[in-house]
Amino acid sequence: STANAPEDDAPNRYSRTERTTYSRYSRDANSSGSSLPSNSLEKRIEELERELAKERQENARLMKVAQDKEELIGKLKEEIDLLNR
């Protein structure tokens, strides 16, 4: 269970930093006379942040599946070696 802990927080690891970065970008874009209204930019940023979080969760899930399969392969190889002896 300890090995799974870093993967479990993978989807949330960067969200606070990225939110700060996106907020800063949004403010900079608005001050430079962006063609889109700030509220539509903020909505788009929030939408992208949600999409990014979902993708990170899916990535973490797939990494866990791959790790589980690698462990199973290792166990099966050990069993094959034992049977061959």
Q: What is the DSSP letter of 11?
A: G
Report if residue 68 sits inside a domain: yes
> Which residues span the domain enclosing 67?
37-84
Question: Per the structure, how many domains does the chain have?
Answer: 1
Report pLDDT for 37. 79
Report pLDDT for 54. 97
Report if residue 64 sits inside a domain: yes
Determine what percent of the chain is predicted with pLDDT higher than 70.
58
* Cβ(67)–Cβ(5) below 8 Å: no
Report if residue 65 sits inside a domain: yes
Distance from C-alpha of 66 to C-alpha of 45, rounded to nearest angstrom = 31
> Is residue 2 very low, low, confident or very high in pLDDT (cuts 50, 70, 90)?
very low
> Residue 49: which of 82, 24, 67, 22 has the closest Cα?
22
Report if residue 7 sits inside a domain: no
- In this structure, the number of other CB atoms found within 10 A of the CB of residue 60 comes to 19
Residues with Cβ within 8 Å of 84's Cβ and at least 6 positions away in sequence, in order, are none
> Which contiguous run of DSSP H or E holds residue 34?
none
